[in-house]
Structure 1
Amino acid sequence: MLLDRSNNQNITTKYNLYVTPHEILRPYISAYNILFPDKNMLSEKYTLIPDASGTLSFVYDGKSIKGELWGASIHPNMIGSEANNYYFLLLIELKPCGLFQFTGIDQKELSDLRIDLGEVDKYLNTSLCNIIEQSIDVNDLVDKLNTTLLSHMSNVYRTNTIINMIRKINENNGLLHVKELSLLEHYSERHLNRLFSQYIGMNVKLFLKIMRINSVIKELQKSQNSFTFIAQQAGFYDQSHFIKDFKAICGVSPMLYLKNMSDFSN
């Protein structure tokens, strides 16, 4: 069985795998992150960078499986020392609006919260915990996750509008103002904020800021360009403003982030 390492020769002591979900699920799920950690796999300071997305988290401590719902992230979340203590972790990493798609709950009530998934959706929690317990290997786990989550999806037509807005924002690396988005979508700014609050868990301005900072992080990871150049490309023409926004989202300055990049997940 998957959770029994002694019977699974494919699982090494340290195991961290990202698997793409079924094609229909991809607008809502970024990846299945499957981990078999040990005491030293992650830095104690390992931190999740906010990306305005939620997560369905499942951990196995050697005795039982526990499911949690993590609301859309708007603050850094340090998980390293906690994660290293488990035998197995499954993180269903959602995209913005994904948590609404599978729960139908107003997301403004869940932002940055970590709560027992069973309190929100007992059926989904039981189904996914059973899948983890009964799966033979990783491939079997992924197949069963896809089947269960496809059957559990809410009406996709309810989220099509917001998904299309998110796509436009991502295509512009967050470089849109609320007023511009309002004109593009033919919604009032007030109504846009209402939609984003309900489906994502935050207002439009904060969502745009998080997307801009995430686009900067991607450039910092792959580019040799200077902070100043990358910040200007992201629409930050005042370096002090850029550093302030970066620290507000990531919890550290850009320089400290680069120095300790392995301590962060994005």
Structure 2
Amino acid sequence: MNLYSEHYVSPKTERFVNKIWCLDNSIGESLIENKLVLPNGCFNLAIVSGNAIEVHTSKNKYTMNEGFYFCSQMTNKVLVNIQPKTKVTIIQLHSWTLSFFPKYDLNNFSDAIIKIDDAELPFQNKIEVGLNSDISPLLNTINSYFEDLNVLNTTKTIVEKICELIKLHHEEITVSEIGKTLNSSQRSLQIKFKIATGLTIKNYIQILKFRKSVDQMVHSDLEKLKLTDVALYNKYFDQSHFIKKFKDVTKTTPKMFNSDSYFLSKKR
């Protein structure tokens, strides 16, 4: 059994969904404790099957029994404990995806989780939450819904455009520069972005830079890769600045970081 696995959606669906990932302790006989998840600039729709998962964010502790949960943007590491006979399937939504659903105001919603009723989900097909449910029907449901959404929304939202600019400039762009490019005021951009994501544009950029640095550390030989190189490559002022920002999120230093304690994205 693989405790952590990733499953990928269709190319058109990738406009809205980054991937689907699973935490699977469905045949386990013991509690999986103190595993960690890092912020990544995405939302998560979590489907809990079986017993329960306990999640500690920087603001609260949540016991998630069987059902559906919406997880906001996270700004710090999250600790999870997975009970035996439990599986969690997580649909990872891009930061701009909720901007296509303007009725949701996420302005003050971060580092938080809420339980939702399956009737609130927009998908036509019912999503199974059984412990032994297969991933294929879920992938088909997700692909079908978001491929249709892609056809219906040929115009990008302002939040999607902001995120595209940030990615295009490798997280090295100011709100002022974004405003000039999009011919919009900084205040208007900030308000729309915060409503759609729960983050400021600056917070979002910082999270992306942090995750890039972690991925670089994990997928490289840190004994050979100097922290100064990581810091400069990811446009931190210097090594001290990088270490400070790293500690803000993980509560440890890069040298003491143990990737085995974390659920981290696989290299694609």
User: Alignment partner of 2:121: what SS?
Assistant: helix
Point out the more displaced range, 204-213 or 145-154.
Answer: 145-154
The correspondence of residues 217-232 of structure 1 with structure 2, limited to 5 A, is: 217-224=214-221, 225-232=225-232
Q: What is aligned with 2:61?
A: none
Q: What is aligned with 1:5?
A: none
Aligned residues: 248
**Aligned-pair distance for 1:156?**
3.4
Q: Structure 1, residues 30-64: CA drift from partner, whole Å, max 9, x if none?
A: 11113432548996222111122110001111698
1:74 and 2:100 correspond: no
User: Alignment partner of 1:45: what SS?
Assistant: strand
Q: Structure 1, residues 98-152: CA drift from partner, whole Å, max 9, x if none?
A: 244468411223211101122xx73318967643449963323321332345567
Q: Structure 1, residues 212-263: CA drift from partner, whole Å, max 9, x if none?
A: 1111112112234211011012111232221111122333221222xx1121
Distance 1:85 1:174, change over 3 A: farther
- C-alpha distance in 2, partners of 1:150/1:86? 33
Distance 1:153 1:243, change over 3 A: same
1:170 and 2:161 correspond: no
Q: What is aligned with 1:34?
A: 22
Structure in which a larger fraction of residues adopt helix: 1
- C-alpha distance in 2, partners of 1:41/1:159? 46
Q: What is aligned with 1:264?
A: 262
The correspondence of residues 182-193 of structure 1 with structure 2, limited to 5 A, is: 182-193=179-190
- C-alpha distance in 1, partners of 2:254/2:72? 25
- C-alpha distance in 2, partners of 1:39/1:237? 45
CA contact 2:123–2:142 (8 Å) conserved in 1: no
Structure in which a larger fraction of residues adopt strand: 2
- C-alpha distance in 1, partners of 2:78/2:131? 30
- C-alpha distance in 2, partners of 1:42/1:239? 38
Distance 1:222 1:34, change over 3 A: closer
Indicate which of 45, 52, 59 corresponds to 1:56: 45
Indicate which of 39, 47, 68 corresponds to 2:36: 47
User: Alignment partner of 1:109: what SS?
Assistant: coil
CA contact 1:173–1:211 (8 Å) conserved in 2: no
The correspondence of residues 73-152 of structure 1 with structure 2, limited to 5 A, is: 73-79=74-80, 81=81, 83-101=82-100, 104-118=103-117, 122-124=119-121, 130-133=127-130, 137-148=134-145, 150=147
Q: What is aligned with 2:60?
A: none
| Identity between Structure 1 and Structure 2 (%) | 17
Q: Structure 1, residues 8-29: CA drift from partner, whole Å, max 9, x if none?
A: xxxxx44543111233221221
Distance 1:228 1:178, change over 3 A: same
CA contact 1:50–1:250 (8 Å) conserved in 2: no
Q: What is aligned with 2:201?
A: 204
Q: What is aligned with 1:25?
A: 13
AA of the residue aligned to 1:147: S
**Aligned-pair distance for 1:186?**
2.2
| Runs of at least 5 residues in structure 1 that lack an aligned partner in the other structure | 1-12
| Runs of at least 5 residues in structure 2 that lack an aligned partner in the other structure | 53-64
User: Alignment partner of 1:218: what SS?
Assistant: helix
Note the aligned Cα RMSD (angstroms). 3.2
AA of the residue aligned to 2:109: L
Distance 1:247 1:217, change over 3 A: same
CA contact 1:51–1:214 (8 Å) conserved in 2: yes
Q: What is aligned with 2:62?
A: none
- C-alpha distance in 2, partners of 1:131/1:147? 16
